[in-house]
Amino acid sequence: MLQQVTVRTSDAKRLKPLLKSALEREAKLLDHSIQRTLQALAPYETRYAMTSDEFERKFNAREIEETLDYLDWWMEIEALRHLEAQRASLKEAKLD
């Protein structure tokens, strides 16, 4: 569902480039955060010889026990999902 956000200003010519720049900067920050989170996931995947997707499925299905290490891994995955959702929202945003 397409939604619209309205910003009111007395100087749209100046504000529009600022908004565009801010959105682009935020997208870059999110990309960087996603890469750092993926790097944080890699040691877990190596240590436990499974992908994060496989781990997440097993963890959510309670097929593996809850340990502190597994909870940390799960929280990194949750952070990744959150960052990816934010990035997707920004990527589909259009300024008119």
pTM: 0.86
In a domain? residue 1: no
Buried b / exposed e over 55-94, threshold 16 CB at 10 Å, is: bbeebeeeeeeeeeebeebbebbebbeebeebbeebeeee
pLDDT tens track, the chain, 96 positions:
778 888 899 998 999 999 999 999 999 999 999 999 999 999 999 999 999 999 999 999 999 999 999 999 999 999 999 999 999 999 888 888
Question: What domain range includes position 71?
Answer: 20-92
Most distant CA atoms of the chain, gap in Å = 58
In a domain? residue 42: yes
In a domain? residue 60: yes
